[in-house]
Amino acid sequence: MSTVFLQVGQCGNQIGQQFWKMAEKDRKNTGYVFHTRDRKLRSINVDSEPKVVRSLLQDTKKSWFRDSNIILGKRGRGTNWALGYHGTRHEPECADDSLLNKTLESLRKEIERCESFSGTVLLHSLSGGTGSGLGAHICECIRDEYQLPYMMSVVIAPHLSGESPLQHYNSLLCLAKLQRNTDSVVLFQNDEVLYQLKRMHKKSDSGISFADMNQHIAACIGGVFLPVTSLTPTCGMPIGAEPWEMVRSICPMPSVKFASINHITKSKASWDTLASSLLHTVPRHGIHGDVYSAMSTVCVVRGDSTNTFPRYIRTVEDKIKHVYNCVSWNPFPVDVWISDMNPASFPGTASMTIAANRSNIIEYTEHILERSKEMFDAKAYLHWYWKYGCEQQDFLDAFDTLETVVSNYKDAVR
Q: What is the pLDDT of residues 336-346, one digit of tens each?
A: 999 988 875 66
- pLDDT of 96 over the 60 cut: no
Q: What is the mean pLDDT of the segment spanning 309-325? A: 96
Give the DSSP letter string of 373-391.
HHHHHTTTTHHHHHHTT--
Q: Specify the higher pLDDT residue, 46 or 414.
A: 46
Burial (Cβ within 10 Å: 0-12, 13-18, ≥19) of residue 273: exposed
Please tell me the distance from the alpha carbon of residue 115 to that of residue 211, in angstroms, as a whole number.
35
Give the pLDDT confidence score for residue 94 in this predicted structure. Answer: 44
Please tell me the distance from the alpha carbon of residue 167 to that of residue 189, in angstroms, as a whole number.
13
- At residue 30 the predicted structure's pLDDT band, cuts being 50, 70 and 90, is low
Q: Specify the higher pLDDT residue, 206 or 83.
A: 83
Least confidently predicted of 117-121, 195-199, 204-208, 364-368: 204-208
Q: What is the mean pLDDT of the segment spanning 247-252? A: 95
Residues β-bridged to residue 10: none
Reference 155, options 170, 175, 137; nearest CA is 175
Give the pLDDT confidence score for residue 347 in this predicted structure. Answer: 65
Give the pLDDT confidence score for residue 143 in this predicted structure. Answer: 96
What are the φ and ψ backbone dihedral angles of 261, each rounded to 5 degrees?
-130, 135
- CA distances 96 to 60, 74, 83, 100, 243, Å, are 28, 8, 11, 9, 33
Q: What is the mean pLDDT of the segment spanning 81-101? A: 71
SS3 164: coil
Half-sphere exposure of 278 (CA within 13 A, CB side): 28
Q: What is the mean pLDDT of the segment spanning 140-148? A: 95
Q: CA 407 from chain center: how many Å?
A: 23
Give the pLDDT confidence score for residue 112 in this predicted structure. Answer: 94
DSSP 8-state symbol, 159: P
What is the model's pTM? 0.94
- pLDDT of 208 over the 50 cut: yes
- pLDDT of 58 over the 80 cut: no
- At residue 289 the predicted structure's pLDDT band, cuts being 50, 70 and 90, is confident
Checking DSSP bridges between strand 117-125 and strand 2-8, what pairing results, if any? parallel
Give the pLDDT confidence score for residue 63 in this predicted structure. Answer: 80
User: What is the gyration radius of the CA atoms in the chain, in angstroms?
Assistant: 21
SS3 213: helix
- CA distances 117 to 5, 111, 154, 266, 372, Å, are 12, 6, 19, 35, 38
Please tell me the distance from the alpha carbon of residue 298 to that of residue 151, in angstroms, as a whole number.
19
Q: Specify the higher pLDDT residue, 155 or 159.
A: 155
Percent above pLDDT 90 for the chain? 68
Q: Specify the higher pLDDT residue, 1 or 55.
A: 55
Give the pLDDT confidence score for residue 93 in this predicted structure. Answer: 38
Give the pLDDT confidence score for residue 266 in this predicted structure. Answer: 85
- At residue 95 the predicted structure's pLDDT band, cuts being 50, 70 and 90, is very low
Give the pLDDT confidence score for residue 344 in this predicted structure. Answer: 59
Q: CA 248 from chain center: how many Å?
A: 16
Give the pLDDT confidence score for residue 345 in this predicted structure. Answer: 63
- pLDDT of 330 over the 80 cut: yes
Give the pLDDT confidence score for residue 92 in this predicted structure. Answer: 45
Angle at CA 31, nearest 5°, toward 216 and 42?
65
Q: Which domains does the chain have, with CATH numbers?
A: 2-250 (3.40.50.1440), 263-359 (3.30.1330.20), 362-412 (1.10.287.600)
What are the φ and ψ backbone dihedral angles of 10, each rounded to 5 degrees?
-60, -50
SS3 156: strand
- pLDDT of 231 over the 50 cut: yes
Q: What is the mean pLDDT of the chain?
A: 90
Burial (Cβ within 10 Å: 0-12, 13-18, ≥19) of residue 99: buried
- Three-state SS across 229-291? HHHCCCCCCCCCCHHHHHHHHHCCCCCCCEEEEEEEEEECCCHHHHHHHHHCCCCCECCCCCE
Q: Mean pLDDT: which of 43-57, 234-248, 349-363 is highest?
A: 349-363
- Report the length, in residues, of the chain: 414
DSSP 8-state symbol, 41: B
Q: CA 308 from chain center: how many Å?
A: 31
